[in-house]
Chain A
Amino acid sequence: GAVVSQHPSRVICKSGTSVKIECRSLDFQATTMFWYRQFPKKSLMLMATSNEGSKATYEQGVEKDKFLINHASLTLSTLTVTSAHPEDSSFYICSAPEAGGGNEQFFGPGTRLTVL
């Protein structure tokens, strides 16, 4: 199947700093990518839909100015957590849909963010 990578896999930062997380589709192009957040023992929650060439679409309750999304190319989307706070500590996962309009989602390995 298709491969989606994320970088970094883990990051620890100080409160108030910004952190950028990259999501790449390695062997296919993705005009759309999705960013999820997962707390321990909780469901994955969709944060936003990243669209190549246009603005991201955010889910209700997700702050656009806090979670900046840029879909720079057909294989790269970035999520920047700005002015991070300890409550932003979480597991962030991106996904990209199967090419050709299929329904399968390919997920990245996730990024563990810890804000001190």
Chain B
Amino acid sequence: SQKIEQNSEALNIQEGKTATLTCNYTNYSPAYLQWYRQDPGRGPVFLLLIRENEKEKRKERLKVTFDTTLKQSLFHITASQPADSATYLCALVWYGGSQGNLIFGKGTKLSVKP
């Protein structure tokens, strides 16, 4: 069965540094991969989507890469701020899966210290 892993349960960094979060998957490459932010007691909020044939996507201070050889996506937040502190989830949809059948990782809780 398809599996998705976010390596770190928690990541602590200093304000101004770049946070790098990792998402690995097994077996087949997904049709696309998404990153979400989730604050405590709230639903996830969509951040970025990257497709199988794309290597990199950017949005303001966010950057996502997708390496189908390594079966890995990296999520970067540059010039991190305390307000970036949250849990970040990666989610995949595989070919043949329905649009809403996102397979989520457990998330990485990011803490940015001032």
Contact = CB atoms under 8 A, between A and B. Distances in A.
Interface residues of B, number: 24
Contacts of B100: 32-34, 46, 49, 95, 97, 105
A107 B99 contact: no
The B interface, classified by DSSP as helix, strand, loop or mixed, is loop
Which range contains the number of A residues in contact with the other chain? 20 to 34
Interface stretch (A66-74, A82-90, A108-116): A108-116
Chain A contact surface mostly: strand
Contacts of A54: none
A44 B89 contact: yes
Which of A43, A97, A106 has the most B CB atoms < 10 Å from its CB? A43
Interface string A10-49: 0000000000000000000000111000000111111001
Interface of B: 9, 32, 34, 36, 41-46, 49, 89, 91, 93, 98-107
19 contacts: A4-B43, A6-B43, A41-B106, A44-B89, A44-B102, A49-B100, A49-B101, A93-B43, A95-B43, A97-B100, A101-B99, A103-B32, A103-B49, A103-B99, A104-B46, A105-B34, A105-B99, A109-B43, A112-B41
